[in-house]
Amino acid sequence: MGGPDFGALGEEAELVEVEPEAKQEILENKDVVVQHVHFDGLGRTKDDIIMYEISDVFKAKNLIDVMRKSHEAREKLLRLGIFRQVEVLIDTCQDVTFEVTELRRLTGSYNTMVGNNEGSMVLGLKFPNLFGRAEKVTFQFSYGTKETSYGLSFFKPQPGKFERNFSVNLYKVTGQFPWSSLRETDRGISTEFNFPIWKTNHTLKWEGVWRELGCLARTASFSVREESGHSLKSSLSHAMVIDSRNSSILPRRGALLKINQELAGYTGGDVSFLKEDFEFQLNKQLLWDSVFSASLWGGMLVPIGDKPSSIADRFYLGGPTSVRGFSMYSIGPQSEGDYLGGEAYWAGGLHLYTPLPFRPGRGGFGDLFRTHFFLNAGNLCNLNYGDGPRAHLQKLAEYIRWSYGAGIVLRLGNIARLELNYCFPMGVQSGDRYSVFRTGVGLCF
């Protein structure tokens, strides 16, 4: 009965389907040459650093290309850390306008922290975009019931290449290490230069630090008391990082390689050593949303001269971030219950991450949790550098600690992960501390 009317509606629907495709084709094929870029809201920011970040917009060839490159320019501007907000307006008449809101000249923060039987008040001040070219000065002061620390830093990026930057840091920080009954107070200055080369990121650093070591408890062993006192360390270090992971907390794919070298003593101070360490991680996504991960760490410290290495410079092993099932840094040489660290170590792990059984909370809060199956192994010791490489490998292969188990991992934003594991420690040696049921928090910086 309504045949003609229904047919008319069908013809209209067909026209509505075709028309957007034609418009889309016109937009993509329309040649556009960006002639003017305007900024609204600029105050103390210099023009040259802005032009470096938006230069690709002028290379766009069509309207779609202009939209894409304008969005990339917006991300680069936000990365500078000098704008609170950046909006892009595109005019088909070859004009692009960036509406920006600069950060205040001074921003501050105040918070309190409670933990490890200590409370502290933390005050932070930040001077963003100090001279108009994305420079930044940051000051942080922490006053606690036990310790007081502070840090002052200056950061300067290279215009147009934010990955290349220079920083200077002045600091005082105190750390307490109960596994060694040790307290360390560092007062120092450091300079860093970061730069990329191809797919790698490099950091060159010089650090001069006055270190004060003391006992954390009256029951500290004689070996720790013997290490107490003052020392001056001046060192040069280099770090190289290749990171193709899609996430630093619970990656599903990609690999990570870190190589660090530190040379102390040739630029002054009374501490001399050569220190090398590395970290490798490989992640592969499997069926049913599962992820397999393999990791390997290793390092060696070689004292230079007749003076032995310091307890503050040695490696430590054990805990939720290395060999699970063992207490924090409770593997290797020890004296009267205080762990002294070692000059050589290795550790490795195999991990399988799967969704929770029956996928509760799928698509929401439940996706923050993963089931975790693991196998860890490692060793920490001191080497006699008069022996050959074969003797060193043989010693590192002796008394291997290893563990296996399962648990649950909770992702805490993009900075940390919380693990609740049931572990089976194996290869336990005299003096090692371990526990079958372990929890731990791993941080990522």
CATH code of residue 358 = 2.40.160.50
In a domain, 394, yes or no: yes
Band of pLDDT at residue 168, cut at 50, 70 and 90: very high
pLDDT at res. 204: 96
Judge whether residue 15 has pLDDT over 50.
Answer: no
Closest Cα to residue 423, out of 441, 401, 403?
Answer: 403
Q: Are residues 276 and 183 in the same domain?
A: yes
* pTM, 2 dp: 0.80
Q: Are residues 168 and 77 in the same domain?
A: no
In a domain, 240, yes or no: yes
Residue ending a domain, among 102, 119, 140, is: 102
Look up the CATH number of the domain holding residue 46.
Answer: 3.10.20.310
Q: Are residues 276 and 414 in the same domain?
A: yes
Judge whether residue 436 has pLDDT over 80.
Answer: no
Q: Which of 128-132, 153-157, 401-405 has the highest mean pLDDT?
A: 153-157
Lowest mean pLDDT across 5-9, 364-368, 396-400: 5-9
Q: Are residues 258 and 393 in the same domain?
A: yes
| Angle subtended at Cα 413 by Cα 410 and Cα 417, rounded to the nearest 5 degrees | 35
Domain that holds residue 43: 36-102
Q: Are residues 186 and 262 in the same domain?
A: yes
pLDDT at res. 240: 96
Q: How many domains does the chain have?
A: 2
Lowest mean pLDDT across 31-35, 147-151, 311-315, 365-369: 31-35
In a domain, 334, yes or no: yes
Band of pLDDT at residue 69, cut at 50, 70 and 90: confident
In a domain, 275, yes or no: yes
Closest Cα to residue 44, out of 97, 102, 100, 87?
Answer: 102
| Angle subtended at Cα 374 by Cα 368 and Cα 378, rounded to the nearest 5 degrees | 130
Q: Are residues 96 and 235 in the same domain?
A: no
CA pair distance 277, 281, nearest whole angstrom? 14
Q: For the segment 398-435, what is each residue's pLDDT rounded down to a tens digit? A: 888 999 999 888 888 777 788 888 888 888 888 888 77
pLDDT at res. 283: 94
Long-range contacts of 252-261 (CB under 8 A, 24+ apart): 252/283, 252/285, 252/291, 253/283, 253/284, 253/285, 253/291, 254/283, 255/280, 255/281, 255/282, 255/283, 256/280, 256/281, 257/281, 261/237
Q: Are residues 66 and 175 in the same domain?
A: no
pLDDT at res. 284: 93
Band of pLDDT at residue 89, cut at 50, 70 and 90: confident
Q: Are residues 259 and 387 in the same domain?
A: yes
Q: Are residues 198 and 69 in the same domain?
A: no
pLDDT at res. 203: 96
pLDDT at res. 391: 78
Q: For the segment 70-87, what is each residue's pLDDT rounded down to a tens digit? A: 898 899 899 888 899 999
pLDDT at res. 349: 93
pLDDT at res. 16: 42
pLDDT at res. 92: 66
Average pLDDT of the residues in 142-165: 88
Q: Which of 31-45, 134-148, 228-242, 350-364 has the highest mean pLDDT?
A: 228-242
Task: Give the distance between the most distant pair of CA atoms in the chain.
Answer: 105
Average pLDDT of the residues in 328-350: 90
Residue 165: CB atoms within 10 A of its CB come to 17
Judge whether residue 1 has pLDDT over 50.
Answer: no
Average pLDDT of the residues in 111-135: 82
* Residue type for position 209: V
pLDDT at res. 216: 85
In a domain, 142, yes or no: no
Judge whether residue 152 has pLDDT over 90.
Answer: yes
In a domain, 423, yes or no: yes
Residue ending a domain, among 58, 75, 102, is: 102
Q: Are residues 53 and 202 in the same domain?
A: no
Q: Look at the block and give the residue holding tokens 């026209």.
A: 15
CA pair distance 165, 29, nearest whole angstrom? 40
pLDDT at res. 6: 40
Judge whether residue 18 has pLDDT over 90.
Answer: no
Q: Are residues 339 and 268 in the same domain?
A: yes
Q: Which tokens sit at 279?
A: 């970290």
pLDDT at res. 41: 86
Judge whether residue 258 has pLDDT over 80.
Answer: yes
Judge whether residue 211 has pLDDT over 80.
Answer: yes
Q: Which of 67-71, 176-180, 256-260, 358-362 has the highest mean pLDDT?
A: 256-260
Q: Which tokens sit at 318?
A: 């054990």
Q: Look at the block and give the residue holding tokens 């089931």.
A: 371
Q: What's the whole-number average pLDDT of the chain?
A: 84
pLDDT at res. 444: 44
Band of pLDDT at residue 437, cut at 50, 70 and 90: low
Q: Are residues 241 and 354 in the same domain?
A: yes
Lowest mean pLDDT across 14-18, 145-149, 367-371, 424-428: 14-18
pLDDT at res. 8: 42
The more confident residue out of 350 and 441 is 350
pLDDT at res. 281: 95
Residue ending a domain, among 54, 80, 102, is: 102
In a domain, 61, yes or no: yes
In a domain, 339, yes or no: yes
The more confident residue out of 5 and 60 is 60
